[in-house]
Amino acid sequence: MPLSANERVHLSEFVSAVDPSGTIVRVDLAANLVFYGDEIRSHETKQRAATNEELARAAGLAILTRRLGYPADRIWIERYFEHGRAGTTRDEVDLIINDADDLAWAMWEFKSPDDFARDQDTDIRRQLYGTSPLVGAPPLLVYATTFPTQPEPTLGVLCIDRTLYPSYETWSVEGRPYATQFPSSYRDPRYEPFTKGGTRDLRTNASHADFVAAAAAFHQEFFGEHPDNTLYTNLMKCLLAKIVDERNTATGSQYNFQVLAPGGREESADAVFARVNSLYRTAYSRYIDPGTAEPDEINVREFSPERVKTVVRTLQGMSITQGAALQADVIGGFFEEILRSGFKQDKGMYFTHANLVHFMTAAVDLEGLAVQVWQRATHPENRLPYIADPACGSGSFLLRAMQVVTQSIRGRRHELVNTEEARLFYDARMSDVNPNYWAESFLYGLDPKFVMAITAKVNMVLHGDGSAHVFKTDGLLPLSSYPDPKLRQTAEPTRTIPRDRYSPDLAESFDLILTNPPFGTTLSSDARRGLGRSFSLPSTTPSEQLFLERWFQLLRAGGRLGAVVPESLLNTGDATTARMFLFRCFWIRAVVSLPRNMFIDTPTLTSLLFAQKKSAGQIERWDSEPVNELRRTT
């Protein structure tokens, strides 16, 4: 039933009794108006018609400020949040309580008392959960009214813990749990920190909707108008901090990647920032630049403590490492959404379209290669193909390779796991619990750009791992400078091509290279200094042609190559020397010409090159042909 005249008077008199000065809120029923005080923030007028819903909100606001201790200057009413392109659409939120860091702490949807029980689920889904990604990461969602009870009105609430139920779908599946009391002064008497192995551990089964909501919140908070690589990079730092926290927190210990609430009151953004920054410093030293004396930090000028706190609030209850092993598609999709919305492609940093990655992986028959290598294996170290991308960017080729190898072996498990050694490897490296664990030993990626290296690291982890051998380093450095034995020069006794046939160092470690190297980039000073002794091609050779020789150095005899190359490599006079190197050292299996503007913001014509490295004997036979000897030396 609608409010009676007496009930409206009761609500009005209650507001006057609780806030007699009217500095927070005042009701004038004679004028049918509600007036909100100067401290209350709003995107609309603070003089509003005294509808039943407005009276419920006015009385509720009086309770929040005068009875429950929430400062008026941290409260918004009728706040707008734009989404899509600026000005196209916007949502309004009835009331928001901000915390001491001015971040949304509780988001409210007010109803009149007579409408409170009507369409609750629909309104919670649309008005609260549907809009919450625009607001940030409010820990509490509140569906509310003020009932005109006697002797005084009472606040009626359905208070939902969004840290436990990040999406409407999860909340609904869990039985729509809510509290009927709203805490005073930011306190949560039921607070319990997230503890590894404890009663409140991270959720490994967070739903697709949970991660969609998280990605939407990041998009709104950081990339609403356009990609921003500065914000994107610092967001990646936060994700890496969470990864190292999940992987290294001891059972029984509290996680550090969370907003703590000692005594039931949330800590400050500065305290959260200090702890997350410490985690990131550890992660940087461990994953990005091992052994460094000066680890990188989250840049407080670029990414404020308040932003870090928002990220932590959004993700603190969900596992992204254990969860990735169980639902890599869900968490990987979450990361790809962040990548699409947050990263601005620039010169030398073009992402390879997923369709192209899938085609190239199929064209080199990685599935068949994985089975072939498995069947001829004599040791766990050669059970699967070694795969590299010396210019890995965001890790697209490595990710696809990981998926294909895992699917090809697991799909033929009954046929392939037919010896004790095969079973031991499978159980240890490809089990249902962690099906991609093998990848940490067999996948290698290099990229000199920090933003790309950290992207590839996080990307691999969130898709189920394989990140151990992703290095922030130039793919054209002397082999002797690399930290891993697979990338370094092979010893002379194991070298298959004699020095008099090819003088630079060889690694000869990899079965497959899938790559899209940058074209025409300026080499680092370390790479330039090593050109003379590292490559047989002239030091003036463009970077993409030097990568051709690097692929030859990394591949073992018979190793397969799938690469995006500039069409000029295959048909111009300037590339004759590199092209002769290609003919001499590789069997060309196929060339696929790609449409112009295949890659954003570059008009360079590109092709796909599929080739196979020749053996020493095959190179020697090529050299023995008089016409080839003449071409090679002129």
What's the full length of the chain, in residues? 634
Tokens of 504: 């630079």
CA–CA distances in Å: residue 596 to residues 26, 273, 486:
66, 45, 36
530: pLDDT strictly greater than 80: no
How far is the C-alpha of 308 from the C-alpha of 276, rounded, in Å? 8
Tokens of 586: 């590789």
> What is the reported pLDDT for 501?
92
Please provide the distance, in angstroms rounded to a whole number, between the alpha carbons at the two ends of the chain. Answer: 96
Cα separation of 516 and 505, whole Å?
23
How far apart, in whole angstroms, are the C-alpha atoms of residue 138 and residue 590?
54
| Annotation: CATH topology of 366-429+439-633 | Rossmann fold (3.40.50)
| pTM recorded for the entire structure | 0.85
Q: How confident is the model at residue 154 (pLDDT cuts 50, 70, 90)?
A: very high
- What is Dmax (Cα atoms) for the chain? 108
pLDDT per residue as tens digits for the range 469-511: 899 899 999 999 998 999 999 999 999 999 999 999 999 999 9
Here the tokens at position 561 are: 């190559």
**What is the CB neighbour count within 10 angstroms for residue 121?**
12
Taking 80 as the threshold, does the pLDDT of residue 344 lie above it?
no
Amino acid 433 reads V
Amino acid at 327: Q
Task: Write down the domain spans for the chain.
Answer: 5-173, 208-325, 366-429+439-633
Element housing 548 (H / E): helix 543-554
Output the CA torsion 445→446→452→456 (10° steps): 20
The 8-class DSSP code of residue 346 comes to B
CA distance 76 to 61: 10
CA dihedral sign of residues 335, 338, 342, 347: positive
Give the pLDDT confidence of 243-276 residue by residue, as tens digits.
Answer: 999 999 999 999 999 999 888 888 999 999 999 9
**Residue 596 CB neighbours (<10 A):** 12
Backbone angles phi, psi at 396, to 5 degrees: -60, -45
DSSP secondary structure of 469-505: TEEES-TTS-GGG-SSTTTSPPPGGG-SS-TTT--S-
What is the average pLDDT value for the chain, to the nearest integer?
A: 90
pLDDT tens digits, residue range 421-478? Answer: 999 999 999 988 888 889 999 999 999 988 888 888 888 888 777 677 899 899 999 9
Strands (E), 246-384: none
Those residues whose C-beta lies under 8 Å from the C-beta of residue 251, and which sit 6 or more positions away, are 196, 197
Q: What is the mean pLDDT of residues 306-325?
A: 89
CA distances from 335 to 213, 277, 329, 456 (A): 12, 21, 10, 11
Residue 507: per-residue pLDDT: 97
pLDDT digits (tens, 9 = 90+) for 180-231: 999 999 987 678 899 999 999 999 888 888 988 998 888 888 887 677 888 9
Band (pLDDT 50/70/90 cuts) for residue 353 is confident
